[in-house]
């Protein structure tokens, strides 16, 4: 016998034994080679695509789900007629935001303003106390207004007697006339 013939027979026997092993264990040799890939795609390696009919069936099913959800929202809105329309939509579908803008009542605004005024007064009082404590000489302490003292408001300037009854308007001044340059005749 020729050695090449013997090697060819051994290779054939090995391939037959591998096929039998694959049948018994339920795995194929191509799956073992493509261990990292999905076995659903098959050994051809082509990308799976949906037919036009399958895509249309999926789209129709999704449209039906949307219609069912819309119908449920409308049904819920009909059954709660005492609630305003905006609240119906917001309660039926929390993703829908209310278009009405919330406002604060005048009483609440007044309470907030009073609280803020009190907070600022407290801060200013603490600042004045700190400044008063930091002043060392009596002259420096006297320069800082005492607690409860008000700042003096400067009086308005008195207008001269001749202008006392005149309206407080500024006289308009005419713009200067453009200067003309002398023409030189040669």
pLDDT, tens digit, 9 for 90 and up, residues 62-80: 999 999 999 999 888 887 7
**Would residue 139 count as lying in a domain?**
yes
Q: Is the pLDDT of residue 170 over 60?
A: no
Q: Is the pLDDT of residue 56 over 60?
A: yes
* pLDDT score at 102: 85
**Would residue 128 count as lying in a domain?**
yes
**pLDDT more than 70, % of the chain:** 49
**Would residue 118 count as lying in a domain?**
yes
Mean pLDDT of 148-177: 60
Mean pLDDT of 132-151: 65
Average pLDDT, rounded, for the chain: 75
Q: Is the pLDDT of residue 99 over 60?
A: yes
**Number of separate domains in the chain:** 1
* pLDDT score at 181: 61
**Would residue 152 count as lying in a domain?**
no
**Would residue 183 count as lying in a domain?**
no
**Would residue 125 count as lying in a domain?**
yes
Q: Is the pLDDT of residue 141 over 90?
A: no
Helix (H), strand (E), coil (C) string for the chain: CCHHHHHHHHHHHHHHHHHHHHHHHCCCHHHHHCCCCCCCCCCCCCCCCCCHHHHHHHHHHHHHHHHHHHHHHHHHHHHCCCCCHHHHHHHHCCCCCCCCCCCCCHHHHHHHHHHHHHHHHHHHHHHHHHHHHHCCCHHHHHHCCCCCCCCCCCCCCCCCHHHCCCCCCCCCCCCCCCCCCCCCCC
**Would residue 130 count as lying in a domain?**
yes
Domain hosting residue 138, numbered range: 113-143
**Would residue 63 count as lying in a domain?**
no
């Amino acid at each position: 016998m020729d050695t090449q013939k013997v090697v060819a027979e051994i290779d054939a026997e090995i391939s037959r034994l591998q096929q039998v092993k694959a049948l018994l264990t339920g795995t194929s040799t191509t799956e073992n080679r493509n261990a990292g890939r999905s076995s659903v795609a098959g050994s051809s390696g082509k990308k799976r695509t949906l037919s036009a009919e399958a895509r249309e069936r999926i789209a129709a099913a999704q449209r039906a789900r949307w219609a069912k959800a819309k119908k449920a929202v409308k049904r819920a809105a009909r059954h709660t007629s005492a609630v305003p329309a905006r609240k119906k939509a917001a309660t039926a579908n929390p993703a829908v935001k209310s278009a009405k803008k919330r406002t604060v009542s005048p009483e609440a605004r007044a309470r907030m303003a009073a609280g803020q005024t009190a907070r600022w007064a407290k801060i200013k009082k603490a600042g004045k106390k700190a400044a008063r404590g930091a002043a060392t000489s009596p002259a420096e302490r006297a320069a800082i207004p005492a607690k409860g003292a008000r700042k003096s408001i400067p009086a308005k300037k008195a207008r001269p007697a001749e202008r006392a009854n005149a309206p407080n308007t500024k006289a308009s001044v005419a713009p200067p006339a453009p200067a003309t340059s002398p023409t030189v005749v040669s």
